[in-house]
Every structure is written in structure tokens, then in C-alpha cells.
Amino acid sequence: MAAAPVWSVDPRSGKRREQVAVEATDREVDAAVRAAHDARGALADRTVRAAFLRTAADRLEAARDKLVEAADAESALGPARLTGELARTCYQLRAFADLVDEGAFLDVIIDHPDATATPPVPDLRRCKVPLGVVAVYAASNFPFAFSVAGGDTASALAAGCPAVVKAHPGHPALSELVAGELRGAAAEQGLPEGVLGLVHGFAAGTALIGHPLVAAAGFTGSVRGGRALFDAAAARPVPIPFHGELGSLNPVLVTEAAAAERAADIGAGLAGSMTLGTGQFCVKPGLVLVPAGPAGDRLAQSLTDAVAATGPGVLLDHRMREAFLAGVAARAALPGVRAPLRAGADGEHAVTAGFLTVPAARLTGAGAHDLLLEECFGPVTVVARYQGEDEATAVLARLPGSLTATVHLSAAEAADGGRGAALLAALTPLAGRVLVDAWPTGVAVAPAQHHGGPYPATTSTSTSVGGTAVERWLRPVAYQNVPQALLPPELRDDNPLGLPRRLDGRLEH
């Protein structure tokens, strides 16, 4: 049987651009994993790792024009957004390099012997070591930041783990270009090219998750695909951690007082957030609780005006376009749902943004419209109009886990530790990031970032953005009664690397 071709497709026309590669066979997946496994030792040196990450950033920046053009041709996301996304990706690679230099992520803990403890404590020294080869499943909606050189790969390499990336079929040509730059950076730093593998094809993704030498996986994509891979990871003879970001509704609550105070601003802000990147953000607000009554009406009018002023956009591929149109149609057809501004097709390839409204009471009780509590990828959101706080609270209680949850407060509520704090506490169980008077789109690369949330937002308690994303690819090891001469420098008493650590119970840095 001939190997299946991998085509680069133009989403603006639906036409094939070029054949990029062929789908990887099981044997090729095995070769990529083995090459990565053999590269582990080369990544053990933290100085080399940090230099590799910085060189990768430099090379991606140097190739910017070529990369942005390739990304735009396959994603239709536009050069401005893609230029910014590439800058973010390079910033992220350098942030992980800084983190590698600092070394706090090694979580060094040293206990000297203590005969008075119950039971007595021997000489114990703990630090974290890399897990091994990481499988990375790339997303289509961020062809730089959540793909071949994105956060999963960058954090895995920072941890000392070689990565084998399963390319997203939405941008195979770009994936090859980026992988080439990463391998070039590896070569510049004297690292084997096997530190970064790239495979194409659905079957390759399945083979990868089952490979005995794969030690962990990172995934960004759909609930269906992510859950299938999560299940496969858990069913292995030796199960492995699967850090998947699967889907997120990102609820927003607008209080009565907030709507009364600034309906127009909130409506316009919501329009900007839900249409950003043609609605293809995993943190797009997908359900907005807005009070019934005149203030809420003004908010809806402002939303209508602002969304109507948004031009049509092209989605990442035609499969996504079909899913979006079908998803909007199915939701709009539910009893009680109205479409003040109907999202829909624009010609053969583009779509226009819109939103739906529904009485919040339709989201609870018998016959509730559960479909409206599922993510609909693309430029659409659901505005649920609530009668009194109890109705809003009842909806919140039914929501699945999300990446984000947002509340818009009035100035008085924002200054009131009682009322505002209670709302904040009510949103915390729902998400991994809770926002006040802001919009969830835009995920900063920062130490305090947490991009993850209760299932199905994430399949673990981890984050895929921010410094702590590196924790996913490490495991602790304690060394007991090891002579100083044999200890790695990270664990020696004299701390030659100047690492932050906990020494005999006390934090030091």
C-alpha cells in the first residue's frame, strides 16, 4: 500500500497547495521515538538546553517573513496576528531558557540526618529529573504558539525531555519549516536532531501514544480526539501522564449592577473577544449570563452593533467551517433560542460572526438545552438572559469545567470584599483562571499564568502556558545516604550552582 500523501491546503479556496510529506508508518514513528530517546543524554546539560531554546528563538525570528507567509497560506489567520503569535512563541522559548538557568523548577530539597525525628531521618536529597520522550499533539488554531515550537515542546525541552511532535494536518508545510529551524538550532548547539521529531498522520498519532518509550504527552485540541488519546494513554501496559487541553465554554457573568453601569462597554468588549481570530480561541467566551431587562437589552444591542461591524473571516479549514455552521444551526433550532445576529456562511469559504440568546431558565431543569453548554468553535456565543441572581447561580452550578470564568462587576461590587469576593469564590470551582472586568482571550506568558482547568478543559491539574508548564515533564527522585563525591552538583551541600532550595526545612535562595 502506498504511503498516504500529506497535503497543504489553502483554507481561503479549499484547494491543495502542495504535497508536503507522506503519513508516517509505524516504523517511522518508532524511528523518531528512538532517536528522541537516544538524545536524552545530550539534553541533560542545563546550559546547553537554555542555549538551544534561545538559538531556536533566534532562528525562528530570523525566518519570520518566510514562516508568517507559510502560516498564513495554511491558516488564513492573517500576517498581523501571525507575526504577533510568532513573537509570542519566541518570547516563550526565551522565558523557558531563563527558567532553565534559574533552576528553581528542579525543586531541590535537602534534609541532613536527624536522629530526633520519628522515625529518624537519614541524609535525603530530592530533585526533579526529566521523564523521557514527550509526545506533543499540535493544535491548528495557534500554528506557532500551540504547535511544533509551542508551549508543550518548549516546556518539554526545558525539562530536558526530547519531543516528538504529531503535526496538525491544518499546517503541515509550516510544521516542517518550524521543525527544520528547531533542528538547525539543535545542530548549532551540538545536539542531535533527534531531540525534535515530527510525524504526520492520524495513525502516527495513535502509534505515538502507544509507544513504550514515550513517557508523557501534551495535547491541545478537541474533546473527542483528546479523550481518545487520554484513554489510550491510560490503557497502556505502563500508563503515562496525558496533559490534554480539550475544550472550554469560558462562562461570563455580568451582574445586574455591572450591566446597569456600563452595558455598552461590556457589549463591545464581548464582541471583540468572541470574534478575535474569527472566534477560534480556546478561551473564547462561549456563554454569557446577562440580566433580563433594559440594561441587558442595551448590552445586547451594543454586542449586535459591534459584531455586525466585524467583517467575514475564513476558518482554519473546511471541516471546521462545516462543524461551525452545523453547530450554529443546531443551537439556533432549539426552542426558545433566538438569533439577533445570525452567524453563518459568507460565500463558499468565509463565515460571518453572530450570537444567540436564550432565557437562562432554558439551561436548567428537565429538558435543559445542554447543547448550549458545549463549546462551539468559531465566531459565535450564547447570551443567556437571567431573571434574578438565583437563575444565574443555577446555570453556573450546571457548567462543565472551563479554562476561564469571568465576572463583570459594578464599581461598587468591585470594591466590596463581601459581594464581589463571594462571586469570585463561586466562579473558582469552574475554571483554572478567573477574571474580573476583563476578557479571557489573550493568554499571557508569565510565571503566574495558569492555562488549564477542570475536565474537560484539561485532563490533568496542569497548565500548558507559563513557567509551571515545565512541571508536567518531570518526576522527583530522592537520593539517600549518597556520598558528596557522587552527588550531582544540584544536590551538593556547597550548592555550586546557586540553586534555590529547601535546606533542613527552610527555604533558601
Q: Smallest gap, in angstroms, from Cβ of residue 206 to a second copy?
A: 17
User: Binding of a second copy at residue 239 (CB under 8 A)?
Assistant: yes
- Looking at the DSSP assignment, which residues form a beta bridge with residue 134? 163, 216
Cβ neighbors of 327 (< 8 A, separation 6 or more) are 376, 377, 378, 380
234 binds a second copy (CB under 8 A): yes
Binding to a second copy (CB under 8 A) within 380-439 occurs at: 401, 414-417, 420-421, 424, 428, 431-438
Catalytic one among 90, 127, 161, 282? Answer: 282
Residue 478 binds a second copy, judged by CB under 8 A: yes
- Interacting residues with a second copy between 241 and 260 (CB under 8 A): 241
State the nearest-atom distance from the C-beta of 106 to a second copy, in Å. 12
350-389 in b/e burial notation, b at 16+ Cβ within 10 A?
A: bbbbbbbbbbbbbbeeeeebeebbebbbbbbbbbbbbeee
Choosing from 172, 201, 205, 452, the residue that interacts with a second copy (CB under 8 A) is 452
Site for a second copy in 119-148 (CB under 8 A): 119-122, 124-126, 129, 131
The rounded radius of gyration (Å) of the Cα atoms in the chain is 24
Other C-beta atoms closer than 10 Å to the C-beta of 27 total 9
Nearest to 473 by CA among 36, 125, 51: 36
**Cβ atoms 201, 32 nearer than 8 A:** no
Joined together, the cell numbers standing for residue 393 give: 447561580
| Those residues with Cβ within 8 angstroms of residue 454's Cβ, 6 or more apart along the chain or in another chain | 400, 401, 402, 429, 430, 431, 432
Answer yes or no: 61 catalytic.
no
Among 352, 357, 459, 464, binds a second copy (CB under 8 A): 459
* Residue 11 beta carbon to a second copy: minimum distance, rounded to whole angstroms: 24
Q: Is 311 in the site for a second copy (CB under 8 A)?
A: no
Which parts of 486-505 interact with a second copy (CB under 8 A)? 486, 488, 500, 502, 505
φ, ψ of residue 71 to 5 degrees: the values are -65, -40
Question: From start to end of 83-132, where are the E strands?
Answer: 108-111, 124-130
- In the window 39-98, what residues touch a second copy (CB under 8 A)? 84, 87-88, 90-91
Spatial contact of 473 and 134, defined as CB atoms under 8 Å apart:
yes
**Among positions 68, 328, 445, 470, the unique one binding a second copy when judged by CB under 8 A:** 445
Confirm or reject binding of residue 370 to a second copy (CB under 8 A): no
**Member of 212, 272, 388, 447 binding a second copy (CB under 8 A):** 447
Binding to a second copy by residue 228, rule CB under 8 A?
no
Instruction: Assess whether 374 carries a catalytic annotation.
Output: no
Q: Which of 23, 74, 245, 256 is catalytic?
A: 245
Q: Which residues are catalytic?
A: 245, 282
